[in-house]
């Protein structure tokens, strides 16, 4: 890349895109051209596969937008230049840059999401691609807002974590991922084959009732149960998130559990009114295995 430049070209172009006050900040900056060349050359060796060189005018304009008044020279010295160059190229839709972003940034995001399901990881990555790399009308892709103050991977990881939080708080999809039917039958059914068959029917009722109960559970309660039972958030972590006391969070989770169990009871009672034993067995199973039962419904 550097062999294509003329002496002082990057520094001159950068100055053209800065207001007078910021140009004055660079007057005493020795080695400005060498520093800019260093940032651009770093992008050539930093990323997987060679990047198609950006027009110097385009990168200079992009860089100028991210230099703050009063700290222009300081930020230039600490800038993650290769990361900013990649972000600029991605915002322009350069295929080589998009490939590098996929291989050198996105591939490391799943490990930063913590304890989430594989399906959610896939969804986070898909939303992340759309949110960062796709523009709308005259609005450039959001990756253009990355300023190079910290590593690009860290910046993208923060965006991904926020997306995961949004997805955790969405409406439930109501897919029950539970134990195999034969395992539930084994737990519920005594040796009588006819009674075992009834338990299989009752199991299907439980699935239907759980779906309905979760669907009408208030969003805040549903989110609390999801975070605690499926994502494994501790009471202390939930306390920090919600700005409440530990006892208050514990009480809300307990109340949400009771609310869910009561709604399931209301669904099951009219359908199992002739079989009180089956009703109590199902409610007992749900209560003792709430974590497992909620896993699919709240994912």
DSSP state of 136: B
Separation CA 142–CA 58 (nearest Å):
17
Euclidean distance between CA atoms 220 and 22, whole angstroms: 48
Q: Are 132 and 156 in contact (CB under 8 A)?
A: yes
Full pLDDT tens readout for the chain, 299 residues? 443 444 448 888 888 888 888 888 888 777 888 888 888 888 888 888 888 888 888 888 988 888 888 888 888 888 888 999 999 999 999 999 999 999 999 999 998 887 677 878 888 899 899 989 988 777 889 999 998 888 899 899 888 888 887 776 553 332 322 333 343 334 333 333 433 434 566 667 777 777 777 778 787 777 777 777 666 677 777 776 666 788 888 888 888 888 888 888 888 788 777 666 667 666 665 665 554 444 444 44
Q: Which of 228, 111, 116, 118 is nearest to 166 (CA)?
A: 116
Distance (Å, rounded) from C-alpha 95 to C-alpha 101?
Answer: 10
Instruction: Round to whole Å and give the CA distance between 280 and 17.
Output: 74
The tokens describing 173, both together, are 């999809």
Coil, helix or strand at residue 189: coil
pLDDT digits (tens, 9 = 90+) for 85-119: 999 999 999 999 999 999 999 999 998 887 677 87
CA distance readout (Å), 173 to 5, 133, 155, 255: 55, 27, 29, 22
pLDDT tens-digit readout, 175-193: 322 333 343 334 333 333 4
Helix count and strand count (H, E) for the chain: 16, 0
């Amino acid at each position: 890349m550097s062999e294509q430049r003329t002496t002082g070209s990057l520094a001159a172009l950068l100055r053209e895109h800065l207001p007078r006050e910021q140009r004055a900040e660079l007057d005493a900056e020795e080695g400005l051209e060498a520093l800019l060349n260093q940032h651009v050359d770093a992008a050539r060796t930093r990323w997987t596969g060679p990047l198609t060189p950006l027009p110097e005018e385009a990168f200079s304009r992009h860089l100028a937008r991210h230099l703050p008044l009063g700290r222009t020279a300081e930020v230039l010295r600490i800038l993650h230049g290769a990361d900013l160059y990649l972000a600029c190229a991605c915002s322009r839709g350069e295929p080589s840059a998009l490939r590098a972003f996929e291989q050198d940034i996105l591939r490391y995001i799943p490990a930063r999401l913590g304890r989430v399901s594989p399906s959610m990881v896939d969804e986070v990555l898909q939303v992340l691609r759309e949110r960062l790399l796709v523009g709308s009308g005259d609005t450039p892709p959001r990756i253009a807002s990355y300023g190079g103050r910290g590593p690009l991977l860290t910046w993208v990881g923060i965006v991904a974590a926020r997306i995961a939080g949004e997805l955790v708080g969405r409406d439930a999809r109501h897919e029950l991922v539970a134990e195999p039917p034969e395992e539930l039958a084994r737990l519920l059914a005594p040796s009588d084959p006819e009674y075992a068959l009834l338990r299989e029917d009752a199991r299907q009722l439980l699935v239907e009732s759980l779906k309905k109960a979760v669907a009408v559970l208030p969003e805040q309660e549903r989110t609390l149960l999801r975070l605690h039972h499926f994502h494994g958030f501790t009471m202390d972590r939930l306390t920090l998130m919600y700005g409440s006391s530990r006892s208050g969070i514990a009480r809300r989770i307990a109340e949400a559990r009771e609310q869910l169990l009561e709604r399931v009871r209301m669904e099951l009672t009219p359908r199992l009114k002739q079989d009180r034993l089956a009703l109590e067995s199902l409610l007992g199973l749900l209560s003792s295995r709430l974590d497992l039962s909620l896993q699919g419904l709240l994912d």
